[in-house]
Amino acid sequence: MDNELIKSCEAKAQTWLASSVYDAETQAEVQKMLDSEDKTELIEGFYKNLEFGTGGLRGIMGVGTNRMNIYTVGAATQGLSNYLNKAFKDKEQISVVVGHDCRNNSRLFAEVSANIFAANGIKVYLFDDMRPTPEMSFAIRHLGCQSGIILTASHNPKEYNGYKAYWDDGAQVLAPHDKGIIDEVNQVRAEDIKGLSKTLDAGNPLIEIIGKEIDDIYLQKIHTICIDPEVIARQKDLKIVYTPIHGTGMMLIPQSLKLWGFENVHTVPEQMIKDGNFPTVVSPNPENAEALTMAINLAKSIDADIVMASDPDADRVGMACKNSDGEWVLINGNQTCMIFLYYIIKNRIATGKMKGNEFIVKTIVTTELIKAIADKNNVEMLDCYTGFKWIAREIRLREGVKQYIGGGEESYGFLAQDFVRDKDAVSACSLLAEICAWAKDQGKTLFDVLMDIYLEYGYTLNHTINVVKPGKSGADEIKAMMQNFRENGPKELAGSKVILTKDYQTLKATDAEGNVTDINQPEPSNVLQWYTEDGSKVSVRPSGTEPKIKFYMEIAEKMGCAKCYEKATAAAMEKVEAIKSDLNL
């Protein structure tokens, strides 16, 4: 073990023992780490400071500078308070919303944060219990607040927690505020944190508890996005199975489905229990088939029409439906996003709701079939970077001029309205049930709708490959891979000529003849894309949060009929293997 690293960690740990800021329980844990012969825990806890990045904090809970605890959360809140007090110095009363999910310590961290905001003269609206992330985003806008935070680690394993910061438009913080907040947080020492206490200062006039009154307004707003209430009235007995996977979705999603008129909603009882240990799943991520096992089993036993699941903070939605053979299949994030936008556009046109100024948004790694749908129906489509803060930015830039009607990304996030500025599983589940009712009204399943889309707009297979490269050596390797791809990009992929290369680092697109055009994005990003003659697209980018490099492949293939789906998928998978070989994966 590195002796210098151990000494450095011991020195940092000693400062926690020497300061009266840290409570006795924390100091006892630190002493235990110092006394232990095995220094692994000490190193993991103190080898660096948990970084407050553009997405806030995320890390494993525990003692130390590199862990999620009341001191790292406290420093983040103090830094955010300092920035708010500077940014809105002329405002008589700055206010924030504080929300949290079902995770262990989420309520504690929320109450600690509320105390600190109030101690800094900031008015706090604190939810009375766990709530979905999108409701917190809604509350910022509804209550006219300047900021908001949510304590959540989304769909990460149970050991994790996180802290996400939002701005006055209800979206996650973007430039220049993200960098400004980070600078403030980095300057905070434990001694600088005002009002740090594990007990909520309930008598403080600056802390107001909110709950059902916001739920009701939010649910009513969500109901306004219903496109075809008549089809729901006809299919009110649609058999829906829903699971919140122990998380915040249980607070509102069954209520929302009922408000929309669905009378036959079945929840998974074992997963309707709030539990930060997520005891019934390996990982509380609706992207993983395993997380939907219990819901699918229930669906089979009652012969349901649709299965839907939300992640612990209810911003992502996963779903499963029956295929043409009656077998339950998972619908991936690209397909989900495509079905939503296809339905919204098609049925807004059918019900006469289109005014001509509508637009939709997708991220650059999400399926290009969405663009085909938008183009054919004369709807403007915008591409943005991965992450809902970028979709929210496109909405903000057009506010009051153009009408946002939907947007999403391949990682199971969708937003069907603009009164929330983050992905929203509450509205997505409600709209998904409506789409299923519309399909059933025509004697179809969601799978049939998916086949209809492929037959009308072309078939593509979306396949993602994650290459994990841990540690500093891994980070260097990823950097070298990206450099090599830039200098020696492929001339063809799976036997098809590369006709366009987009480099978001330089914001330049180069075609096969060498002609260069500008890419319109707000800032550079370390992403490369190759488009081939046969209509395929490959995107590559290092992950911003994990030690891996991601390859997003979209493979175009011929599909002549609904029964040809399996054959087209098999042919596309052969191309995936060829591309892996071409890129040395």
Question: In which element (H, E) is residue 397 found?
Answer: helix 388-397
Q: What is the DSSP string of 281-347?
A: -SS--TTSGGGGHHHHHHHHHHT-SEEEEE-TTS-BEEEEEE-TTS-EEEE-HHHHHHHHHHHHHHH
Find where tokens 């591309």 sit.
Answer: 579
Query: What is the per-residue pLDDT for 491?
Result: 95
Find where tokens 């002609």 sit.
Answer: 515
| Residue 46 near residue 14 (C-beta atoms within 8 A) | no
Within 55-195, strands assigned E span: 57-60, 95-100, 123-127, 147-151, 160-167
Mean pLDDT in residue range 199-206: 96
Please give the distance of CA 23 from its chain centroid, rounded to a whole number.
34
Report in angstroms the alpha-carbon separations of 271 from 20, 154, 256, 485: 42, 16, 18, 44
- Residue 124: CA atoms inside 13 Å, Cβ hemisphere, count? 30
Q: Are strands 492-493 and 306-310 parallel, antiparallel or unpaired?
A: unpaired
Report the C-alpha gap between 389 and 166 in whole angstroms: 9
Please give the distance of CA 419 from its chain centroid, rounded to a whole number.
17
62 contact partners, CB below 8 Å, separation of at least 6? 45, 68, 69
Structure tokens at 512: 């096969």
What are the structural domains of the chain? 77-210 (3.40.120.10), 218-442 (3.40.120.10), 459-582 (3.30.310)
Q: Are strands 537-542 and 528-532 parallel, antiparallel or unpaired?
A: antiparallel
Q: Mind listing the pLDDT tens digit for each residue in 335-378?
A: 999 999 999 999 999 999 999 999 999 999 999 999 999 999 99
Q: Mind listing the pLDDT tens digit for each residue in 90-120?
A: 999 999 999 999 999 999 999 999 999 999 9
Report the C-alpha gap between 441 and 58 in whole angstroms: 44
97 contact partners, CB below 8 Å, separation of at least 6? 124, 125, 127, 136, 139, 140, 143, 145, 147, 148, 149, 166, 210
Query: What is the per-residue pLDDT for 324?
Result: 87
Q: In the chain, how many H helices and how many E strands?
A: 18, 23
Report the C-alpha gap between 530 and 579 in whole angstroms: 11
Query: What is the per-residue pLDDT for 109?
Result: 98
CA angle 377, 382, 385 (to 5 degrees): 145
| pLDDT range class, residue 54, cuts 50, 70, 90 | confident
Query: What is the per-residue pLDDT for 461?
Result: 98
Q: Mind listing the pLDDT tens digit for each residue in 444-503?
A: 999 999 999 999 999 999 999 999 988 778 888 999 999 999 999 999 999 999 999 999
| Residue 579 near residue 508 (C-beta atoms within 8 A) | no
| Residue 57 near residue 156 (C-beta atoms within 8 A) | no
Report the C-alpha gap between 479 and 374 in whole angstroms: 36
Q: Mind listing the pLDDT tens digit for each residue in 395-440?
A: 999 999 999 999 999 999 999 999 999 999 999 999 999 999 999 9
Report the C-alpha gap between 208 and 210 in whole angstroms: 6
Q: What is the DSSP string of 250-278?
A: GGTHHHHHHHTT---EEE-GGGSS--TT-
Find where tokens 């825990």 sit.
Answer: 41
The residue type at 333 = G
Query: What is the per-residue pLDDT for 470?
Result: 83
- Is 154 among the catalytic positions? yes
Query: What is the per-residue pLDDT for 415?
Result: 98
Report the C-alpha gap between 519 and 502 in whole angstroms: 8
Mean pLDDT in residue range 248-273: 98
Mean pLDDT in residue range 15-30: 96
Report the C-alpha gap between 410 and 423 in whole angstroms: 12
Please give the distance of CA 48 from its chain centroid, rounded to a whole number.
26
Question: Alpha-carbon torsion 492, 559, 319, 325, what sign?
Answer: negative
Query: Whole-model pTM?
Result: 0.96
Active-site hit among 81, 95, 154, 430? 154
Mean pLDDT in residue range 233-260: 98
Report in angstroms the alpha-carbon separations of 98 from 79, 150, 207: 15, 6, 10
- Determine the length of the chain: 585
Report the C-alpha gap between 430 and 384 in whole angstroms: 25
Report the C-alpha gap between 153 and 131 in whole angstroms: 13
Q: For residue 537, what are the β-bridge partners?
A: 531, 554
| pLDDT range class, residue 279, cuts 50, 70, 90 | very high
The residue type at 311 = D
Residue from 555, 581, 579, 549 nearest 569 by CA:
555
The DSSP output letter for 193 is -
Residue 22 has pLDDT above 80, yes or no: yes
Structure tokens at 301: 């036993």
Question: Alpha-carbon torsion 17, 19, 24, 29, what sign?
Answer: negative
Structure tokens at 444: 């179809």
Report the C-alpha gap between 241 and 231 in whole angstroms: 19
Query: What is the per-residue pLDDT for 167?
Result: 98
Query: What is the per-residue pLDDT for 1?
Result: 60
